[in-house]
Structure 1
Amino acid sequence: MRLAFAIPWRDRGSWLFEHLPEGYTGDLLFAAPEPNADLTPRASKLPPYLAEFFCLLGRGYKLAHYDVVFAWELRCTLAVLLLRRLQRTRTPVIVVGPILKGAARTLLPLIRPLLADATKIVCFSSAERDAYAELLKLPAERFVFFPTPWAAPSDVPEPTEGGFALALGQSNRDYATLFRAVEGLVIPVTVVAADDTPFGGVPPPPNVTVHFNTDHHTTNALIASATLHLIPLHPTGFSSGQTVLLRAMAAKKACIVSRIPGVTDYIDENQTAVLVPPHDEGALRDALTQLWEDTQERQRLGENAARAAQERFGFAGFVKHLLELIL
């Protein structure tokens, strides 16, 4: 069986082929402009979704050459489904990890007809699986929940204790609550984000060091050397925080996470991570100070987390689940 994996990132996705069983072959279809490609200037001036579509179209991909196409994330998915209609092929498309938030919700009248062509829609949280069926007005059996896969890259440093708490990430982060929670503490905190939007206008206190857009190696080094990880999140109906959580778990790190739908699918409470109510600076402060002072508890949580990351969230199991959808 010949499969296609349409993904929105360059130079990623090769892990998919490492776990395909005998009898399956596959190709990567990139829905993103390549550096110095002739298509890049034109694509970059197009509205979202159309840029990815013209990238796929310009590369001459023929969906009919494949038995099944797996399309990652919403923008890439819509590009693939547009291309499917243009090419008038009946090749099944399985959607993986769409997130309906922000501008996507305002475009639902345009998105629904395209997503109706999808054979299955894989959600990365049980909350999304249940909510998206109603939001898109599609049959509930069309939606399935598989956890986001993760495995530590080979270049990740060995875990150490660097003497700081790390808060990493941008999407749906509630750093305003974090800043209020840690103000006045002697615990050093490092925050890594794309910009200061998640700060909510609250300035970082003196014990917080902020880095924007760290490179791959710096980020991996921070993850490995943090004493523990903090993932403060706003309560929403879409999944967020799980990729950073899995990276920390794989690095044997104890984590304190906001209890919101989606990320809780990945946590065995008080066994693989500590959960606190969202927007509760007092609970976050208490959890941080207690865990910071308890080395044995951090080690216990970290070891449990690393075991869960390997056994429950590995690539091999994820690919196996995907293939079960086409049998």
Structure 2
Amino acid sequence: MRLAFAIPWRDLGSWLFEHLPPEHTGELLFASPEPNADQSPRASKLPPYLAEFFCLTGRGYKLASYDTIFTWELRCALATLLLRRLQRTKTPVVVVGPILKGGVLKALPLIRPLLADAVKIVCFSSAERDEYAVLLKLPAERFVFLPTPWAAPRDVPEPTDGGFALALGQSNRDYATLFRAVEGLTIPVTVVAADDTPFGGITPPPNVTVRFNTDHATTNALIASATLHLIPLHPTGFSSGQTVLLRAMAAKKACIVSRIPGVADYIEENQTTVLVPPHDEVALRDALSRLWGDTQERERLGENAARTAQERFGFAGFVKHLLELIP
């Protein structure tokens, strides 16, 4: 069976193909397998939706030549489904990991007709699956929950204790609550984000070091050397924080995470992760202070987390479940 994977970045393709069984062949669309960065849609000066659509059309892909197409993220999905209509092909498309939030919600009348052409829509949380069926006005059976996959890449350093707590990520982050929670503590905290948008206008306290847009190697080093991880999130239904959570779990790190529906599928409370109510700075402060002073508990949570990440969230199982969605 000939499959295509429409992906907005190159690194995902390698593990997809690594776990394809021999009876399937796969081709990567959009993000080129060549190392030249300027061949990626992300290097384009066009908005992402247009960049990926023109990248797809410019390469002359004939979607009818594939048995099934898997697309990643909303913009790739819409570009692929639009091209499918223009080429008047009936090749089934499976959409993986679309996120409907913010300004996207205003465009739902335009998005619904295209996503209605997808045979399946894979969501990265069960709460998201239920919510999207309502938002898109599509049958519930069209939506499938599969957990975000993760496995530590080969270039990740061995875990160490660098003596700081790490808060990593941008999407849906509630750093304002985090800053209030850690103010006055002697615990060093490092925050890594794309920009200061999730800070909510609050100035980080003196014990917080902020870093923006760290490179791959630096981010991996921070993940591996953090004493523990903090993932403060706003209470929303869409999935957020789970990729950072899985990276920390794979690195044998204890995590303190906001209790929201979007990450509930990835957590065993007090076994792999400590949960606190969202927007609760007192609970976050107490959990951080308690876990910071309890090395044995951090190690127990970290060992459980690493084992769970390997057993439940590996790439091989994810690809197997994806292939089961082929009509």
TM-score category of the 2 structures, normalised to the smaller one: over 0.9
Cα pair 2:30 2:41 within 8 Å, conserved: no
Structure 1 spans left out of the alignment, 5+ residues: none
Per the alignment, in what secondary structure is the counterpart of residue 256 of structure 1? strand
Question: C-alpha distance in 2, partners of 1:253/1:39?
Answer: 34
Deviations 1:209-260 (A, max 9, x none): 1111111101000000000000000011211000000000000000000000
User: Is 1:212 aligned with 2:215?
Assistant: no
Q: Aligned letter for 1:229? A: H
TM-score (norm 1): 0.96
For 1:235 and 1:202, how far apart are their aligned partners in 2?
Answer: 19
Q: For residue 121 of structure 2, what is the aligned residue in structure 1?
A: 121
Q: How many angstroms apart in 1 are the aligned matches of 2:315 and 2:246? A: 12
Residue 51 of structure 1 and its aligned partner are, at CA, apart by: 2.2
Q: Please say if residues 42 and 51 of structure 2, whose CA atoms lie closer than 8 Å, have aligned partners that are also in contact.
A: no
The separation in 1 between residues aligned to 2:123 and 2:82, in whole angstroms, is 21
Conserved in 2, the CA contact under 8 Å of 1:31 and 1:76? no
Q: Is the 8 A contact 1:172 1:233 kept in 2?
A: yes
Letter of the 2:57 counterpart:
L
Task: Give the CA deviation at 1:50.
Answer: 2.4
2:90 pairs with 1:85: no
Residue 286 of structure 1: CA displacement? 0.3
Residues of 2 paired with 1:158 and 1:207: CA distance? 26
Q: 1:151 to 1:200 in 2, by over 3 A?
A: same
User: Cα gap change, 1:17/1:40 in structure 2, threshold over 3 Å: closer, same or farther?
Assistant: closer
1:251-300: CA deviation from partner (whole Å, max 9, x where unpaired):
00000000001111100000010000000000000000000000010000
Question: Which structure 2 residues correspond to residues 1-327 of structure 1 after superposition, within 5 A?
Answer: 1-30=1-30, 35-36=37-38, 44-45=45-46, 47-326=47-326
User: 2:101 corresponds to which letter in structure 1?
Assistant: K
Cα 1:25–1:212 shift into 2, 3 Å = same
One-letter code of the match for 1:189? V
Task: Give distance in 2, aligned partners of 1:322 and 1:57.
Answer: 25
Letter in 2 for 1:319: V
Shift, 1:39, TM fit: 8.6
Encode CA deviations 1:169-227: one digit per residue, 9 max, x unaligned.
Answer: 00110000000000010100000011111110111111111111111101000000000
- 1: distance between equivalents of 2:175 and 2:42? 35
Q: TM-score, structure 2 length as denominator?
A: 0.96
* Cα displacement (A) at 1:10: 3.0
Change (3 A) 1:130 1:187: same
CA RMSD in angstroms, aligned pairs only: 1.7
**SS state at 2:12 partner:** coil
Partner Cα distance (2:140, 2:39) in 1: 41
SS of 2:238's partner is coil
Following superposition, the deviation at residue 44 of structure 1 comes to 2.4
What residue identity is the alignment partner of 1:163?
G
Question: How many positions carry a matched residue from both structures?
Answer: 325
Matches of 1:38 and 1:310 in 2, distance apart? 31
Question: In 1, distance between residues paired with 2:110 and 2:166?
Answer: 40
Inter-partner Cα distance in structure 1 for 2:260 and 2:50: 33
Q: 1:38 to 1:155 in 2, by over 3 A?
A: closer
AA aligned opposite 1:125: S
Structure 2 distance, partners of 1:261, 1:315, is: 23
Letter of the aligned partner of 2:224 in structure 1?
A: A
How big is the shift at 1:48? 4.2
**Alpha-carbon deviations, 1:49-103, whole Å to 9, x = none?**
2221111000111111110000000000000001100111100000000000112
Given residue 7 of structure 1, which amino acid in structure 2 is its aligned partner? I
Does the 8 Å contact 2:78/2:111 carry over to 1?
A: yes
C-alpha distance 97-204 of structure 1, shift in aligned 2 (>3 A): same
Which deviates further from its counterpart, 20-29 or 121-130?
20-29
